[in-house]
Amino acid sequence: MTDTAVRRGQRQPARLRILLHHPLSTYYLIGGASVLLLLLGLVMVLSASSIESFKTFGSSYTLAGRQALFGIGGLIGMFFAARTSVQFWRGIARWLLLGAVVLLIVVLVVGVAVAGQRNWIELFGPFRIQPSEFAKIALVVWGADQLAKREAYHRSWKDLLIPVLPVAVLLMALVLMEGDFGNTLMLAAILCGMLFAAGVPGRFFALFAGVAVVGTWVLTLAAPYRMERITSWLDQSSDPLGVGWQLTQGYYALGTGGVLGVGLGASREKWGALPEAHTDFIFTVIGEELGLVGTLSVLLLFAVLAFAVFRLSRTTKDPFVRIATAGVGCWIVVQAIVNIGGVLGLLPITGVPLPFVSYGGSSLVPALAAVGMLLCFARNEPGARQSLRRRATARSLARR
C-alpha cells in the first residue's frame, strides 16, 4: 500500500519532467501562460473597472468591453505573428524601427496628454495609440537582428554596442521627452536583456547601472512628481492623500483579501477609494477579490512564462531568436516586477501596467504580438518543427 503511494509520488515528477522536455512544451507554456493572464486580466478589468465605468459612461461594461476588443485584436495579432517565420521578423526589423521613430516624433507634435504624459496619438472614437509601447517591440526586433548579425563576425563585445546602443538611447530619449518614465525604463530593460544575451560582459552592466542611477537621480530632481513618488515610497506617511494614499489603499485591498479573497466582483476598494484600480493597481484588486491564492497564481503564471521564455533563449541555436527572446522576456518580466513591486511598496511607483492583465490596448496589443513572435520562434525550433510535422502527418493519416 505504502509501496504504491511512494511509487505514485515518484511517478508524478517523472511525468512532469517528460512533459517539460517535450519539444513543444516551450510553445505551449508561453502561449498558455500568456492567454491565462489575458483571460484573468479581462475578468479582473471587468470587476475593477465596473464602478469607474458606470460613473463615466453609465454602463459597467464599457471599459471591459473595450478591453475585450483589445484582447481579441491582440489574440488575432498573436495568431498571425505565431504563423510567421524567423526570417519575416528579421526582414521587417528596420521598418519597425523606422515606424517607431516616426511615431515617437509625431506624438511629440500632435500628442494628447493623459495623466501628465503627452504620449498618446488619437485615432477614431475612444481609440488611441501609445507609440512608446510600439517602440518596445521595434527595439526588440531591430536590436536582436543587429546584434545577431554582428555576433557572427565581430570578435570584440564592444563592436556589438554600435549601432544598437545609440539607437536605443535615441528611442529612450524620445520616450522620455513624452514624459513616459515607465516605458523609458522598459526600453532600458529590453536593451540590457538583449546585450546580456548577446554576451556583453558584466562590467558593462555595472557601468550601465551607474549611468541609470545617476540618470534617474537627475530626472527625479528635474520633475517634482517623480520626487514625490520616491519620497512617498520611502516614507509612506509623508503623503497620505497622493501616492501614499494610493499605496495604502492597495495594502488595504490586499489585506482585506486575505488568503482566499472576498470573492470575484466583491472588491470594496474599487468603489472609488483605490485610484487606477483597473490599470496600474489591478494586482491589488486581484489580491482583494481572489486573495493570496490569486496573487500567488499571477506570480506563478509570470514565473512559468519567464521559465519558458528564458529556456527558449537558452536552448536555441539561432542567435537572433536567443537575443530577441531575451529582450521580450526582460520586457515582460521587468514590467511585471516593476508593477507588482510598486504596488507592494518594494519599488517606487512608476505607472507601468501589469502585462496582459491591466486595462489598456496600446500595452496589451504589442505585448500579445511579442508573445506571438515568441510562439513563432518556439514552433520553429528544430525539435518542435519535427514534432509538428509528425503530428500533421498523423492527422492526415487519420483523416484517410
Partner 1 sequence: MKQMAAPPRQRRGTGSTSQYRHAVVKGHAGKRGMVLLIITTMAFSVFAVRLIDLQVVKGPDLAEQALSQRLRTTAIPAMRGSILDTKGAPLATTVEARNVTADQTLVTDPVAVGAALAPILGVEASVLATRLTGTRRYMFVAKDLSPETWKQIDALRLPGIFSEPTLRRIYPGGSLAANVVGFVGADGKGLGGIEYGMQDLLAGTSGSTTYERGPGGRVITTGEMTRSSAVHGSDVQLTIDRDIQLIAQRQIARQVESARADSGTVIVMDPRSGHILAMATAPTFDANTAATSPDAVRGNRALSDIYEPGSTSKVMTMAAIVDQGAANAGSAFTIPSTLKRGGKVFHDDVAHGTWHLTLAGILAKSSNLGTILASERIGGRKLYSYLKAFGIGEPTGIKFPGESSGSVPERSDWSPTTFPTLAFGQGLSVNSVQAASVFATIANDGLRVQPTLVQGIVNPDGTVTPAAAPKVTQVVKPSTAKQIRLMLESVVGKHGTAPKAAIPGYRVGGKTGTAQYVDPRCGCYNGQVVASFIGMAPADNPQLVVAVSLINPRNGRFGGQIAAPVFKRVMTYALQARQIPPTGKRAPRLLLTAG
Burial of 149 from C-beta contacts in 10 A (0-12 / 13-18 / 19+):
middle
Q: Is 304 in the site for partner 1 (CB under 8 A)?
A: no
Among 16, 221, 266, 394, binds partner 1 (CB under 8 A): 266
Q: Which is nearer to partner 1, 237 or 396 (CB)?
A: 237
Scanning 174-182, 206-214, 285-293, 376-384 for contacts with partner 1 by CB under 8 A, the matching segment is 285-293
Q: Is 296 in the site for partner 1 (CB under 8 A)?
A: yes
Scanning 38-46, 97-105, 211-219, 298-306 for contacts with partner 1 by CB under 8 A, the matching segment is 298-306
For the sheet containing 112-114, what is the strand order? 112-114, 117-122, 128-129
Q: Is 348 in the site for partner 1 (CB under 8 A)?
A: no
Give Cα separations from 57 to 53, 60, 62, 280 (angstroms): 6, 8, 7, 20
Q: Which is nearer to partner 1, 183 or 249 (CB)?
A: 249
Q: Is 197 in the site for partner 1 (CB under 8 A)?
A: yes
For the stretch 275-302, what's the b/e string if a residue is b when 16 or more beta carbons lie within 10 angstroms of its beta carbon? bbbbbbbbbbbbbbbbbeebbebbeebb
C-alpha cell at 269: 476598494
Q: Is 10 in the site for partner 1 (CB under 8 A)?
A: no
Nearest to 90 by CA among 165, 147, 141, 143: 141
97 to 136, contacts with partner 1 by CB under 8 A? Answer: none
Q: Which is nearer to partner 1, 129 or 312 (CB)?
A: 312
Q: Is 22 in the site for partner 1 (CB under 8 A)?
A: no
- What totals of helices (H) and strands (E) does the chain contain, helices first? 14, 3
Q: Which is nearer to partner 1, 385 or 391 (CB)?
A: 385
Please tell me the distance from the alpha carbon of residue 334 to that of residue 328, in angstroms, as a whole number. 10
Scanning 20-28, 68-76, 216-224, 320-328 for contacts with partner 1 by CB under 8 A, the matching segment is 320-328
Q: How far is the CB of 139 from partner 1 (least distance, A)?
A: 17
59 to 88, contacts with partner 1 by CB under 8 A? Answer: 87
Please tell me the distance from the alpha carbon of residue 109 to that of residue 100, in angstroms, as a whole number. 15
Among 204, 268, 383, 388, binds partner 1 (CB under 8 A): 268
In the Cβ-directed half-sphere of 265, how many Cα atoms lie within 13 Å?
Answer: 2
Q: Number of residues interacting with partner 1: please give it, by CB under 8 A.
A: 64
Please tell me the distance from the alpha carbon of residue 400 to that of residue 393, in angstroms, as a whole number. 11
Among 30, 254, 324, 371, binds partner 1 (CB under 8 A): 254
Q: Assign 95 to helix, strand or coil.
A: helix
Q: What are phi and psi of 278, to 5 degrees?
A: -95, -5
Please tell me the distance from the alpha carbon of residue 329 to that of residue 68, in angstroms, as a whole number. 24
- Type of residue found at 196: F
User: SS3 string of 261-285?
Assistant: CCCCCCCCHHHCCCCCCCCCCHHHH
Q: Is 26 in the site for partner 1 (CB under 8 A)?
A: no
C-alpha cell at 265: 466582483
Q: Which is nearer to partner 1, 132 or 295 (CB)?
A: 295
Among 185, 282, 340, 371, binds partner 1 (CB under 8 A): 340
Among 212, 219, 262, 388, binds partner 1 (CB under 8 A): 262
Q: How far is the CB of 317 from partner 1 (least distance, A)?
A: 8
Q: Which is nearer to partner 1, 219 or 337 (CB)?
A: 337
Please tell me the distance from the alpha carbon of residue 82 to that of residue 95, in angstroms, as a whole number. 19
Contact letters (x/-) for partner 1, 156-195, by CB under 8 A? -------------------------------------x--
Give me the residues that bind partner 1 (CB under 8 A), please: 51, 87, 90-91, 94, 145, 148-149, 151-153, 193, 196-197, 199, 249, 251-259, 262-263, 265-269, 271-273, 287, 291-292, 295-296, 299, 302-303, 306-307, 310-311, 313-315, 317, 319-320, 322, 326, 329-330, 333, 337, 340-341, 344-346
